[in-house]
Amino acid sequence: MSNEKNKSQNNLEIRRHSLEHVMVLAVRRLFDDKVLLGVGPVIENGFYQDFDRQFSESDFVRIEEEMKKIIKEDIKVELEYISIDEAIEFFEEKGQKYKVELLKDIKSKGSTKMNQESESEVVSGLLNEGKVSMYSFGAHKDLCRGPHVDSTGELVGMSFKLDRIAGAYWRGDEKNKMLTRIYALAFEAEDDMELFLERREQAKLRDHKKLGKEMELFMFHETSPGAPYWLPRGMAMLNELMRYWRDEHAKRGYDEVSSPLINKSDLYKTSGHWDHYKDSMFIADMGENEVYGLKPMNCPNAMIIFGSRLRSYKELPLRLSDVDRLHRYEQSGELNGLFRVRAFAQDDSHNFISEEMIKDEVREVLSIVDDFYGVFGLKDNVKLYLATRPDDFMGDVKSWDKAEKELSELLEESDFKHGLKDKDGAFYGPKIDIYLSDSLGREWQCGTIQLDFQQPKNFKLEYVDKDGSRRQPVVIHRVVYGSLERFMGILIEHFAGSFPAWVAPVQVRILPINDDVVNYAKDVQTQILNSAFAQGITARVEVDDRSETLQSKIRDAAELKVPYTLIVG
């Protein structure tokens, strides 16, 4: 992202944040000057504010009109710093118990101990002098990290709209009181607002949960929340994705493996994942000090395979691909169709190389990315981000610097759009993240290319080099599709169910005009299947022999988004 774009985005966030305060002032003027306030951060496309008061969407027009008046009044925005004790006293006098609770939590624990990310967005935290920032928008004075506009008049021309109401437990804890959250949209201009609203309506029509049900691709059931059932048509698509994946990787020297889905906790303690992922794992305590976990990632098992015998430098690069099913215990409130699930597979591979091979191997992986997204016509929708060394990195700086330099050079020489995510690498190595923009302009993270200097060390992996010495390999963790479930969800919404013919769940549907020609229709089906088989292709052809009118069959085929419909008779 360019500096100019960063600056523009920062300005928009400041203006959105200022509009949130304007909304609160409007509410106080119209309804209750002493209304109790929760938190109110900026979010994507706008902001929200929590109130300890009931509202309905019928109130939105009045609030919006009052906000426009406040903007026209050009009220000066003032900032002051006061001690935490003074702030507590101020809000106690105002009866703002939620602000008092936050401030006392800051005082005792520090701003880094806030219960929710949104809280740290609202409060400034402890300053060097032990003071906090307070902003005044006319009669409305509130604790806030800022920054804000200098006066409300600077918000003239902003396009905003109160969007919806939701319930939100105070501090995200269901034991606390349910507050009323008002969500709002805010953009620099009316055109931006109209484009967003248009895309949102399109997103509703393209919702993969809706289309997945209509097209009979997948389903969920309460007996296994977050774990999709793949129905025959959806399974056909998954199999086609994996057929292409297997064929292309076999050509490139990849060896597919499979490993146990249930492993002792010792495996994850060795890899270092136990401390980081334990709370997101399905764990079974078998007694007698036997604790097992369902596999949440493939990498520790790949280390076991590499270390099962002494390797030679001649075996490198050793590319072990794996599409085993993985399980992660996502919170129920975070589950979202195929985008956030508890059971999934990903097109994984762990490529074991020498440090000298890093550049050539990543270049080869990037060529796979090129092919895989290109086959869907999505190459121009891909953007790669280099994520560099974080503050808590492990290993030596020299290896990190060399790897980051080589990855940066590869991105420069590629024809992919690319950007930088400073200090966003994993603690064990830099990475390249693969982002895909869909037809509505939404950006999704799909695959990743991750260098790892640490896990081979944890598992004491070695290979025999040319001179007979023992060396530690470097591992490249890489996925191209990413989670297959998530990738399928993205494809469904991007293409609105009208998939490229090669991956469509049903490629051809044959419609006999009456019962007399059903056998002929099935003969045509057989001819197509045999012709495809002779060319090494798996075709997906259906005959619609239901006792329905031809018009009804044509309509149903269109609703199922079948690429080719043949009418015979």
Give per-residue burial for 258-288: e unless 16+ CB within 10 Å, then b: ebeeebebebbebbbbbeebbeebeeeeeee
Cα separation, 305 vs 322, in Å, equals 12
Give the whole-angstrom CA distance, residue 180 versus residue 411.
46
| Bond into 317 cis (ω within 30) | yes
C-alpha angle with apex 318: 314 to 321, nearest 5 degrees? 165
User: For 360, phi and psi rounded to 5 degrees?
Assistant: -65, -40
- Cis amide linkage into residue 500, ω under 30° from 0: no
For the beta sheet containing 564-568, the strands, ordered from the edge strand earlier in sequence to the opposite edge, are: 541-543, 508-512, 564-568
Is there a contact between 186 and 16 (Cβ–Cβ < 8 Å)?
yes
Write out the catalytic residue numbers. Answer: 299, 328, 346, 348, 350, 431, 477
Instruction: Give the helix/strand (H/E) hosting 224.
Output: none
Please tell me the distance from the alpha carbon of residue 122 to that of residue 114, in angstroms, as a whole number.
Answer: 11
For the chain, what is the largest distance between any 2 Cα atoms, rounded to a whole number of angstroms?
89
CA–CA distance, 567 with 569 (Å, rounded to integer): 7
- Which two three-digit tokens encode residue 125? 């935290």
Q: How far is the C-alpha of 347 from the C-alpha of 107, rounded, in Å?
A: 47
Q: Which of 329, 321, 280 has the alpha carbon at shortest distance from 301?
A: 321
CA distances, 408 to each of 224, 280, 388, 425 (Å): 43, 33, 10, 13
